[in-house]
Structure 1
Amino acid sequence: MPKMIFLNLPVKDLAASIRFYEAIGCQKNEQFSDENAASMVWSDTIVFQLLTHEYFSTFTSKPIADAHERTGMLIALSRDSRAAVDEITEAAAAAGGRADVSERQELGFMYVRTFADPDGHIFEPMWMDMSAASGASEG
């Protein structure tokens, strides 16, 4: 079995979050979804587990942070092109998220934008020209 990453994210409105994550390219895995949680598959090895606040609270004794007020993590998503970075960012905004919560980064060999999901979790879709990046680090 390959190593996998499951990101457990607390969400206020599960149905709205499912629509949002489908809009940015995830597929819902019905086998691991119910009225408390949705398993949203990003790739063969990365899954976003969307959990209602009530259900998320069963896994921790700490209070749930309001991601609109505090940042606990930044989730970087690799994309195949600059256009793909723009596409996912615009899709996120159209699906109830917020685009460009930070300034765009245009470094020649790398391009990064940001968006927040409806609960304020921040994503950084990025494209990198690996051959130019390795050349930049040699200089």
Structure 2
Amino acid sequence: MTTSAYQQMIFINLPVNDLDASKKFFTELGYSLNAQFTDENAASVVISDTIVAMLLTKPFYSTFTKKEIADASKTSEVLLCLSAESREKVDELVEKAVAAGGTASDKVQDMDFMYGRSFDDLDGHTWEVVWMNPEAVQG
């Protein structure tokens, strides 16, 4: 852990098929869009002060890489994991995702000190949501 006051951020860049549908999906989960970095090619989804998901149309995404864009509905490219403040918040976010058109995984992780579920967004990107008992994390 660093003792610096600097808060490192993560910008997750994800290719999407339908930018408007993806913007609607993530705002229905309770996240906001940063208008300064949102246009017809990209949407900046603010997940927290240090986590931003950049949703990019596939043509725009392809300007950043020479690699073939994975079809996340058929292959696993990455597992994105968000923390939650309680078991109830895990369930709440997954239920919002399903109501907004996402798909919940049948797998539930329930290990007393840790509880997690996951969902796929509209493009098949897998998002895990996990709560860990703070006492267990502290050792």
Scaled to the shorter chain, the TM-score interval is: over 0.9
| Counterpart among 118, 121, 125 of residue 117 in structure 1 | 121
- Structure-2 residue corresponding to 1:96: 101
| Counterpart among 67, 73, 78 of residue 62 in structure 1 | 67
What SS does structure 2 have at the residue aligned with 1:112?
strand
For 1:105, the aligned partner's letter is Q
- Structure-2 residue corresponding to 1:107: 111
How far apart in 1 are the matches of 2:23 and 2:31?
Answer: 9
How far apart in 2 are the matches of 1:129 and 1:18?
Answer: 32
For 1:109, the aligned partner's letter is F
Count of matched residue positions in the alignment of Structure 1 and Structure 2: 134
How far apart in 1 are the matches of 2:8 and 2:135?
Answer: 26
How far apart in 2 are the matches of 1:79 and 1:25?
Answer: 13
The answer to whether structure 1 residue 10 and structure 2 residue 15 are counterparts is yes
Q: Which runs of 5+ in 2 are unaligned?
A: 1-5
Task: State TM-score, norm by structure 2.
Answer: 0.92
For 2:90, the aligned partner's letter is V
